[in-house]
Amino acid sequence: MSNQKAIATPKRTKEILNKYGFSFKKSLGQNFLIDVNILEKIMDVAGVTKEVGAIEIGPGMGALTEQLAIHANRVVAFEIDQRLIPILKETLQTYDNIEIVNQDILKADIKHVMDTYFQEQKEVKIVANLPYYITTPILMKLLMDRLPVSSITVMIQKEVADRMAAKPNTKSYGSLSIAVQYYTEARVAMNVPKTVFMPQPNVDSSVLQLDIRDKPPVEVEDESFFFDLVQACFGQRRKTLRNNLARHFSTWTKEQVEEQLNKAGIDGTRRGESLNMEEFADLANSFYSAH
């Protein structure tokens, strides 16, 4: 297939926009990809092959969808914007392995959609260029729903990708790093300049590769308690664990907080960003047993 025909070029994108009189909705964070090379690289990072089924979120005009259709066995794309459905029908009409689902991914029963369309596929991957304003809620839903997918490859705001893949003792490391890495092995696969989008966003992007873990790397008594406690430890980054936890467990005495810190073998003068996931798990389990 020649690149001239590919959707992901400035010329073709403008043609489609003009034909349909389409205007970008700021509220939906619409930025369309106009660079085929970047899309090819995303296919490589995600490891999309003909053995694989692919789920896409926010296909826009179908630039990434088209590449997924070429490389994957079957593609299901969730698009919230009703105005894009007829455009997608036209831009993708030459492919017979694409289903477009006009639903909000945050409200969709993704498991049911997977059961409907992916009976033949042994492996399903999620690949998407996510709208910036809603990246974190979408990813957390995908992870917490524990979908039977092997990986998630997403183009997102660089700063958010850095936070999700961050290691302890770095500026980007925080409760989001722990939440994402509890479910996945996370790495930033590549950085992407804003020039490959139309309209150009104000920030640079990165492709984040999340390989889903078979099971979390730590054992916690209660997941939501664990995540709450992690968040509390980063409540005020400059403050010590002791202070942040005293605020979180506001009905406890200082001695009670200190006792659980000691029980977990964690020095209360440390800051949240210095703890790794094992230490957070020890801390959460210690506090959980006493609460």
- Which residues are annotated as part of the binding site? 31, 33, 58, 79, 104, 129
**Annotated binding-site positions for S-adenosyl-L-methionine:** 31, 33, 58, 79, 104, 129
Helix, strand or coil, per DSSP, at residue 55: strand
- Burial class for 37, CB neighbours closer than 10 Å (0-12, 13-18, 19+): exposed
33, 64 contact by CB (below 8 A): yes
Tell me how far apart the alpha carbons of residues 13 and 192 are, in angstroms, rounded to a whole number: 19
C-beta atoms surrounding 233 within 10 Å: 29
197: which strand partners? 33
User: What's the Rg (C-alpha) of the chain?
Assistant: 22
Do the strands 123-129 and 52-57 form a parallel or antiparallel pair, or are they unpaired? parallel
Residue 188 bridge partners (DSSP): 208
Q: For residues 56 and 75, what is the distance between their CA atoms, to the nearest angstrom?
A: 7
Contact 216, 182 (CB under 8 A): yes
d(CA 226, CA 207): 28
Q: Is the peptide bond before 217 cis (omega within 30 degrees of 0)?
A: no
* Other residues' Cβ atoms within 10 Å of the Cβ of residue 222: 13
Q: Which tokens sit at 248? A: 């979180």
Q: Which helix (H) or strand (E) holds 248?
A: helix 241-248
- CB-based burial label for 216 (10 Å; 0-12, 13-18, 19+): middle
